[in-house]
Amino acid sequence: MKTVTVSGTSVSRIAAKELGDARQWARIMEANGFFDAVIRAPTNVKVPERDANAPTVPST
């Protein structure tokens, strides 16, 4: 599991960037114990490994 420092973003944006699929946001929420999907202040976020079975959406 890697850690990224972010602020002013959402968990779905982190999932899209780090996991290749914004729909994987719940995995990040669970890994961090988050209750709010919006991250305002600088925060260290644990990002789980990519799920090989999860579909990916190409980024544009």
**pLDDT per residue as tens digits for the range 34-54:** 999 999 999 999 999 987 776
Q: Encoding tokens for residue 52?
A: 């090989």
Residue 22: inside a domain: yes
Is residue 21 domain-resident? yes
pLDDT in tens, 2-35: 999 999 999 999 999 999 999 999 999 999 999 9
Counting Cα atoms < 13 Å in the Cβ hemisphere of 21 gives: 14
Question: Does residue 53 sit within a domain?
Answer: no
Q: What residues make up the domain containing 18?
A: 2-47
Please state the pTM of the whole predicted model.
Answer: 0.81
What is the number of structural domains in the chain?
1
Residue 60 located in a structural domain: no
What is the predicted pLDDT for the residue at 59? 52
Residue 57 lies in a domain: no
- Residue 7 domain-assigned? yes
Does 31 reside within a domain?
yes
Look at residue 25 in the predicted model and tell me its pLDDT: 96
Q: Which amino acid is at 7?
A: S
Q: What is the model's pLDDT at position 51? A: 78
What pLDDT does residue 6 have? 95
The residue assigned the tokens 């709010």 is 36
